[in-house]
């Protein structure tokens, strides 16, 4: 099971969903469920994970995208394999070494 790491931008997006004027409990629940699936199996069929051609701000990173939800106002998780070199923070699943998934962005479909 991969360990999830978050870039500062992804961590801020999660924090905004949790509290403040942009808090959204329903969307937060969906994002957390998608993150749980990502941690369990990045290729879970419900995530519909696939390579993303060019993620703004991460042009030189082999990025992937996974579904949080579909339809109008759909959200996505953008991530990459391995640790990020831009100050990503850890969210240890089991504290053991192994695969690392760095969540680059959480937000509306680009």
Domain ranges (residues) in the chain = 3-108
DSSP 8-state secondary structure symbol assigned to residue 41: -
Using CA atoms, how far apart are residues 48 and 68, in angstroms rounded to an integer? 9
pLDDT of residue 86: 56
Domain 3-108 has CATH 3.40.1350.10: no
Radius of gyration of the chain (CA): 13
Using CA atoms, how far apart are residues 70 and 92, in angstroms rounded to an integer? 28
Structural contact between residues 35 and 4, judged by C-beta atoms closer than 8 angstroms: yes
pLDDT of residue 90: 60
pLDDT of residue 93: 43
The tens-digit pLDDT sequence of the chain (110 residues) is 889 999 999 999 999 999 988 899 999 999 999 999 999 999 999 999 999 888 888 888 889 999 999 988 899 999 999 876 555 566 544 444 578 999 999 999 87
- For residue 22, the tally of other CB atoms under 10 A from its CB is 11
- For residue 9, the tally of other CB atoms under 10 A from its CB is 17
pLDDT of residue 92: 47
Using CA atoms, how far apart are residues 84 and 16, in angstroms rounded to an integer? 22
């Amino acid at each position: 099971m991969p360990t999830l790491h978050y870039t500062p931008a992804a961590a801020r997006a999660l924090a905004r969903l949790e509290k403040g004027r942009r808090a959204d409990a329903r969307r937060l629940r969906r994002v957390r469920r998608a993150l749980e699936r990502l941690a369990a199996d990045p290729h879970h069929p419900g995530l519909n994970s696939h390579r993303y051609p060019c993620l703004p701000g991460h042009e030189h990173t082999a990025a992937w995208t996974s579904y949080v939800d579909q339809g109008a106002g759909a959200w996505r998780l953008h991530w990459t394999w391995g640790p990020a070199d831009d100050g990503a923070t850890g969210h240890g699943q089991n504290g053991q070494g192994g695969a690392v998934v760095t969540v680059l962005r959480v937000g509306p479909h680009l």
